[in-house]
Structure 1
Amino acid sequence: MATSSSAPLRTSDQAVWNRVLALHSHVERELTHALQRQHGIGLSEYRSLEHLHHSDRSELRMQDLAERVGLGQSSVTRLVGRLETAGFAYKDLCPSDKRGVYAVITDDGRQRYQAARATYTEVLSATLNTFTGDPELGPTVQALRATQG
């Protein structure tokens, strides 16, 4: 598809995607503020604790955690460092491959995740509900909720 560099073509897919991004931005901002204010953790920390909590052995390879949280390797290393400083996780070497490093959730990390989970769920629902009546974003919220199984 050829487009002019001076006048980009706006397709319906682009319009839908822009609405998804706008909604995502609003929701992420609300979640970030609530988790920081009420539990002293950021959104990436919360999501990391969630993935570690639900993993088979309460641990994930750092590269797997990075992929699940959507961060690069150096960013996830800093994130796990913050979790380690807070006492919510620690790094462990893979016994069979000393180059493999795991992030492991601690009991304190589990407790912080459990405490923050209700806030996350409440703020997520409340923020989505706020936008259901919005003429621009309401249909996007409804479409997302209609895909729930």
Structure 2
Amino acid sequence: MTTTMDGAAWDRVVTLHGRVEHELAKAVQRQHGIGLSEYRALCRLAAAEDGELRMQELADLIGLNQSSVSRLVARLESSGLTRRAHCPNDRRGVYTVITDEGRAVQEKAAPTYHETLGKALDAAAGDERVGVLVSALRA
């Protein structure tokens, strides 16, 4: 059963998330010309075995639905950052594979992402409404 206290706590999480996401999206777009979802997809692909993931796996890992991840992958593909591949055992299975250019973009954007994340969390730590969440995240 959800309580009023649960709702208030969740509202603080949403507030913190929104603030941090806004700063991250702004920094990655401004400095590297890619969206935050694109950056996160490249990170997941770079960390995956052989640099590839099934589309549904990628959707689950970055919190998008199938339609949104298809559009995301199409943008990455048209930019040369990923390519599609079919599963050799199941031709219906579609993978997205990070390219060398995609790895280079992800590696170049990573310091911006991490620096911005740290600054955004530092700023939020001083806010009495969400500071306790930042402390919990960093514990």
- For the superposition of Structure 1 and Structure 2, which TM-score range results when normalised by the shorter chain? over 0.9
Alignment of 1:70-149 (within 5 A): 70-146=63-139
TM-score by length of 1: 0.90
**What is residue 31 of structure 1 aligned with on the other side?**
24
Q: Distance in 2 between matches of 1:61 and 1:68?
A: 11
> Structure 2: which amino acid aligns with 1:37?
R
Residue 62 of structure 1: aligned partner = 55
State the TM-score, normalizing by the size of structure 2: 0.96
Looking at structure 2, the residues matched to 29 and 97 of structure 1 have their Cα atoms a distance apart, in angstroms, of 39
Return the letter of the residue paired with 1:137: V
Q: Which runs of 5+ in 1 are unaligned?
A: 2-8
Shift of 1:10: 5.7
Q: Which residue of 2 aligns with 1:4?
A: none
Which residue identity is paired with 1:136? Answer: R
Task: State the secondary structure of the residue aligned to 1:144.
Answer: helix
Residue deviations 1:39-92 (CA, integer Å, cap 9, x gap)? 000010000000000001100000100111111111111100000011100111
More helix by share: 2
Q: Any gaps of 5 or more consecutive residues in structure 2?
A: none
SS of the residue 2:84 aligns to = strand
**Deviation readout 1:71-119 (Å, 9 max, x if unpaired):** 1111111100000011100111111100000000000000000000000
Give the superposition deviation at 1:134.
0.9
Q: Shift in Å at residue 137 of structure 1?
A: 1.2
Percent identity, please. Answer: 54
CA distance in 1 between partners of 2:79 and 2:120 (Å): 28
Structure 1 residue 11 displacement after superposition: 2.0
Query: How many angstroms apart in 2 are the aligned matches of 1:75 and 1:15?
Result: 30
Secondary structure at the residue paired with 1:57? helix
Report the Cα distance in structure 1 between the residues aligned to 2:116 and 2:55, rounded to whole angstroms.
28
Root-mean-square deviation over aligned CA pairs = 1.2
How many residues of Structure 1 are paired with residues of Structure 2 in the alignment?
139
Bigger-Rg structure (1/2): 1
